[in-house]
A and B are shown apart, each in its own frame.
Chain A
Amino acid sequence: MLPEKLIYEISCKQGALRAVRFNSDGNYCLTCGSDKSIKLWNPHRNLLLKNYQVHAYEVLDAQASCDNSQICSCGMDKYVCATDVGTGKILRKYRGHAGTVNCVKYNENSSVILSGSTDNSVRIWDCKSRKLEPLQILDEAKDSVTSIQVSDHEILTGSADGYFRRYDLRTGRMHADFLGKAVSSVSFTKDGQCVLASTLDDSIKLMDKETGEMLNEFTGHKNHDYKIDSALNCEDTHVISGSEDGLVYYWDLVEAKIVHKLNHARTHDHTIQKIQSLMW
């Protein structure tokens, strides 16, 4: 059940990797390098498929659209780009953020792009129209927005001000939950009932979405400074997170015990990569 074997180790030659993201069906993955490039890989066959040069500075996050036709990416050049997968041409380049853009996400049907930035705002960009202004700016965060998740009707943002905020489009409400420490990563559980949030005090918290109560806490790893992703596996049985000591930790969701550590890592990149790969 738990992945223990290291299948491939790919040297991406992109400098430090900022993010590794699988596409929606898990057959391909994108690596965001600090050398301004995004690379598309077939990780199952250890193949480099394409190299995208769309940013002017380090690329911090990327995501493939639901139909695999586009890639949205963001970086320290404050731009959010939508790139055509086949041709590698930039379809849209959204500017508007006043600072480094930390994270970027498509919504469920890839009609809008959401981006969170160090300018404390989340901006929603329209992919359908040619409009280059954001549809809406969510500027409730008091500090850098570190992570975004989108479900069919919710937007979840984690911010360094210690809050994770959930915008519910159906009910038209925004819930802000205070965790006390900068939130580095947020994600929904697969059933959509809970939120998994990593905070910079070496802990990952499983929060109830409706009441904001903490259901479980996962500790034992190290996460004090860096934006390290955490996630649940596809069956919601385990919590997975990287750590600053170079390991990938597995916790049992219910018992909150460390069940496994992956000690393959030389760098963080692989840590993240592994997490991502297990997310799907």
Chain B
Amino acid sequence: MEDDEDTFVTIGTPLEFIDEDDPIKKPQKELQAVGVGTKARPRFHGAFTGGFSAGYFNTVGSKDGFTPSSFTSSKEKKNEFSTQRPEDFMDEEDFAEHGIAPRKFQTSDSFVSEDRKRQRDQAIKSATADTLLGSTTALADLIVPERLTIGVKLLRKMGWKEGQGLGPRYEKKAKSGKSSKDSQRKVYGCSLPQEMSEESDEEIPENVTFAPKDVNPVKIGAKDNVHGIGYRGLDPRKALPATHVSLFPAPAITKTGKKGIRGTAFGVGALEEDDEDVYSQDHLSNYDMTMDIEEDIHMGWTAPGRGKKQAVPVGYVGNLLEGFTLSGKKLPPRKIFPPPHLPSNYKPLHTFRKEDTAPVSHTNTEQDAVSRGLTLGETPVFESVFDLIPQKDKERLNAAKSRAEGTIDVQSSSNTEKSSSDSHIHTSQTSVSSAVPAMESTAGTQSSPMATAGSQPSPMATTKEPSKLGTLQSPHTSRAAVFSPFVKDPEKQRRYDQYISLVKEGNPDAYEHVAGSHMTEWEREREMEEFSKAARFYKPMTSMMASRFTRAKFHDDEDKVEMPAQEEGNKNDRQSAAKMKMYGTLTRDSYEWHPDRVVCKRFNIPDPYPGSTITGVPKVKRDKYSVFNFLNFSSNEPIEEKSVSQDSEMKALPAPETKQDKAESVSFKITAKSHPKMTTSIFSSLNEEKPKGSSSENVQKEEEARPSMDLFEAIFGNTDSEDSEEDTPKATSNISNSPPATLSQASNKRSSESPTTDITETRDQSSNLDKGHHHSGRSNSEKNKNRSESDKSGSKERTSANPTTSIFSHLFQEPQKEEVSLLPGAPVAIETLEMRLSGENRVEDSFGPELPPVMKESAGGSLKGNGIMQPEHQKSYDEGRGEKDRHRERKKEKYRDKEKGQHKDKHRHRSRSRGDRERDSSDRHKKHKHTKSKKSKHKKKHKKEKKSHKKEKQTVSYSSSDADSESDSDSPVSNQELLQRWRSLTKEGKL
């Protein structure tokens, strides 16, 4: 056995041992597909979810259904009698959404709307203000104030109380009268006890008023149909048998007086009496069998009193409408108005008044001296202003005018009147393209209505009717439609329009037809002139022209410059401080800076300037030409944000700043000022060639206006730089010898041509002066020579007319390492702005296999110097370096400051070429070519070189004029004079 037990393995569960003695159990049936409610109770399955869920399985509370409540009461706990409600016999499911008595929680309307709630809150507050509840809202929510309509509230405010009627209060007198009447009334039967009525009457004091009784208002339904009064529509159920398909919804039957159902329902109730209609039969008697038409004189009129014959009064002619009676009153006679009495001389024709006579008073109000004199009978002294002009000038004017008319010219409009004669000539000489914007600008300054109107045509022509302009046959029509130069004077405008139309017709003396008779001879003449001018000037531009110009979208106020709000320290100080390694307050600038809102969010930092709309460093607009700005310019701030950062050049100045340096910076400013446009963007100047429209006269003028160097020095002179001790004597000597002054003038003059080239030149000067500094033995004449050289070079550069070339100039100052770095390939050398602008992108690293180290070593120099990438001419330059150059090189080496380090070979390059120029001009062509490193300019070059010859001649003339001005500036000038000059200069700049 034991062995057996060990070896046996039981798998599965053993069957139950069946005891046969036990009664056989019926296998319990599973409940058939019972739904399970939320409480895991099987629940009744209706079609959907309806139906009661009561009974055994859907038990209420217990297996036995609901438990009947039994009466229990004890001493401690008294039984509270409670009525049973249907809810006591219902399951929770019945209250659910699909149950038989769904319970919805709804906000009662007193809580729904927002303003109600506010009102309620207020009411609560006022109600609980001085109670313990105070402002605890939880409790306050329980108190629901009664809802009162606004009418009730108002009435209450007016003193109305519930139960009272509306209306004015009355005194009891009427009542007493009534009571007296009552007393007189006969009383049948036993009379009322006397006291009662007596009491009620007597108790009322004399002056007590009573509110009127509350009366239920009579509700009158408004009549909203066109039926007659008392009309009732046909009841379809009456008319149609019940078997008939009811097409109309049966109106609700209302049975009054009896209890029972209201409205429609099935069948007939036991309580109802009339049940004859229940099984209504369709009977033939319901139908009208005859076809004869009843004479219906009433036309369906259902008014009361039908059928009664009216007694026609005697003498009444006519048919009386049935249902109406004749009124006893007579109608009031109609009032008759007699027709207006016509004047004897009336003619039934309308003649229009002559309009010319109308505005006499109008013109009378605007009399000027001449017209007044005329009315007084004086003889006018002169006819017009032009009479005062001497004959010679008149001729000149006419010549100018004819020339102006010769060109298509829209402009020159009121220049004849306003501007001086020479400027007029100047403008008339310029082409239309340049003249139109000029005119617009001048028009802005003029205040006459003509001028303001004159500024209108171009935009209107371009915007309003470009299509019209394209196909325009006669410009006058459109002009008449578009331009109204005399809007202010409608009469004049009308005359002008007439005049225009007459002119269009080709009438030779158009104005004579138009001229008002009331006008004086002088007025007439003036107006005629005005009209003819207007007709000439307000011609719309031809479509071609018009399409070329557009209104400026933004007003560019050139006088203003955006600058950081805070002041900056002196730039020179900063530079010298940096040089001396005195970092700290001197080298630090702090600005307010507004980070972007989102940036703050991303950095998880609260916005330091919440609500600020600006981001970045706030800028302020400042007057461009204020003296303080100039002071600033000499500091670090660039003239404009994106301008050629001259300050970077300044920074690149390794040399201690001397007086000369400052002079330079001043001259910078001037150039920048006189040509603000050039400073806007380097890139813009790249592709546009600076127009050299400025004639020699302009240059002359500018030259005259320019103050001498001393002034700048007086204003901007800084004495605190540490190097000033050594340099001041030199500088002063220079001043006494006056070359700096002339220098500046020369540079100024040149600046008028092209500001950027000027930078180079001043730079050159500085280098020259530096040289001079080291070789103090050099005479002034030598310097002058140098200067003239630089002049020449300047002129050369001018010929190139590409502003970028000038940017090379700062490379003179930039100490550049010449020797090759050991490792030319790897990191990116920092490209400073200057380098980038110089077009010398030093992309040393090329793709592909790296050079073997030996190669690198050897190629390093050229790599660095762009040897590999360089166009051929560069190489040729390297080879073509003559002996002279080397010689010069060596010479230069001496001058070179240690700190300055090695200049970029570019610099040498340039200076060399200049040197060559100095020595033999025949060589120039070739060398000059080297100065341009860009291939793209090759084509231009030849042309420009040709030009340069011409220019050089010009510069000669300049230098002669220089000499003139030199002598001017040489003469001692008082400060007052200088200031005046300064002012005129600034003015000119603004204009």
Contact = CB atoms under 8 A, between A and B. Distances in A.
A131 to B, nearest CB: 9
A236 to B, nearest CB: 20
Interface in B573-606: 574-575, 577-579, 581, 583-585, 587-596, 598-600, 602-605
A173 B592 contact: yes
Contact of A135 (B588, B598, B836): B598
Task: Among B579, B595, B647, B829, find the residue whose CB has the most chain A CB atoms closer than 10 A.
Answer: B595
A18 B595 contact: no
Contact of A169 (B581, B603, B847): B603
B647 A212 contact: no
Interface in A66-108: 99-100, 102, 107-108
B688 to A, nearest CB: 19
Interface stretch (A1-9, A45-53, A219-227, A251-259): A219-227
Contacts of A160: 830-833
Interface residues of B, number: 56
B616 A137 contact: yes
B641 A139 contact: yes
B827 interface: yes
B648 interface: yes
B827 A142 contact: no
Interface stretch (B428-436, B817-825, B922-930): B817-825
Interface in B625-647: 636, 638, 641, 645, 647
B599 A153 contact: no
A226 B574 contact: no
Interface string B113-128: 0000000000000000
Contact of A182 (B641, B826, B832, B836): B832
A200 interface: yes
Given A15-B847, A176-B589, A225-B821, A182 B830 contact: yes
B617 interface: yes
Interface string B545-586: 000000000000000000000000000001101110101110
Task: Among A15, A143, A205, A265, find the residue whose CB has the most chain B CB atoms closer than 10 A.
Answer: A143
B968 interface: no
Contacts of A139: 616, 641
A63 interface: no
Task: Among A139, A174, A217, A244, find the residue whose CB has the most chain B CB atoms closer than 10 A.
Answer: A174
Contacts of A205: 583
A143 B648 CA distance: 8
Interface in A158-184: 160-162, 167-180, 182, 184
B444 interface: no
Contact of A16 (B591, B592, B825): B825
B583 A177 contact: yes
A261 B647 CA distance: 37
B829 A225 contact: yes
Nearest to A112: B602
Contacts of B584: 211-214
Nearest to B612: A172
Given A142-B648, A153-B605, A226 B587 contact: no
A212 B822 contact: no
A197 B328 CA distance: 118
Contacts of A246: 822-823
Given A176-B588, A179-B578, A124 B599 contact: yes
A40 B593 CA distance: 38
A177 B590 CA distance: 9
A194 interface: no
A99 B826 CA distance: 20
Contacts of A162: 578, 648, 651
B602 A111 contact: yes
B553 to A, nearest CB: 22
A107 B645 contact: no
B845 interface: yes
A246 B824 CA distance: 11
A126 B598 contact: yes
A148 B648 CA distance: 20
A231 interface: no
Contacts of A226: 821, 826-830
Contacts of B583: 177-179, 205, 207, 212-214
A180 B575 contact: yes
B823 A244 contact: yes
A138 B616 CA distance: 7
A152 B603 contact: yes
Contact of A136 (B595, B647, B821): B595
Nearest to B830: A227
B826 A174 contact: no
Contacts of B609: 172
A179 B821 contact: no
A38 interface: no
Interface in A16-46: 16-18, 34-35
A170 B595 CA distance: 9
B615 interface: yes
A245 B604 CA distance: 43
B51 interface: no
A225 B817 contact: yes
Nearest to A200: B830
A228 interface: yes
A217 to B, nearest CB: 7
B827 A174 contact: no
A176 B917 CA distance: 44
A267 interface: yes
A270 B604 CA distance: 37
Interface string B479-513: 00000000000000000000000000000000000
B600 A169 contact: yes
Nearest to A127: B602
A17 B827 CA distance: 7
A268 B826 contact: yes
A146 interface: yes
A232 interface: no
B336 to A, nearest CB: 83
B828 A227 contact: yes
A18 B827 contact: yes
A236 B617 CA distance: 33
A264 to B, nearest CB: 13
A193 interface: no
A172 B578 CA distance: 26
B897 to A, nearest CB: 15
A212 B587 contact: yes
A187 interface: no
A226 B583 CA distance: 24
B833 A16 contact: no
B550 to A, nearest CB: 26
A60 interface: yes
A153 B588 contact: no
Contacts of A102: 828
Contacts of B831: 100, 118, 144, 160
B871 interface: no
Nearest to B578: A180
B608 interface: yes
B86 to A, nearest CB: 60
A156 interface: no
A142 B635 CA distance: 14
Interface in A262-280: 265, 267-269, 272
Interface of B: 574-575, 577-579, 581, 583-585, 587-596, 598-600, 602-605, 608-609, 615-617, 636, 638, 641, 645, 647-648, 651, 817, 821-823, 825-833, 836, 845, 847-848, 850
28 contacts: A15-B845, A16-B827, A60-B828, A107-B602, A112-B602, A124-B596, A135-B598, A135-B602, A136-B599, A136-B615, A142-B648, A144-B831, A152-B603, A161-B648, A169-B600, A170-B605, A172-B595, A172-B609, A173-B590, A175-B589, A175-B590, A176-B588, A178-B587, A178-B636, A207-B583, A225-B829, A226-B827, A267-B826
Given A109-B602, A226-B821, 9 more contacts: A112-B599, A139-B641, A172-B595, A176-B591, A178-B588, A180-B578, A225-B821, A226-B829, A268-B827
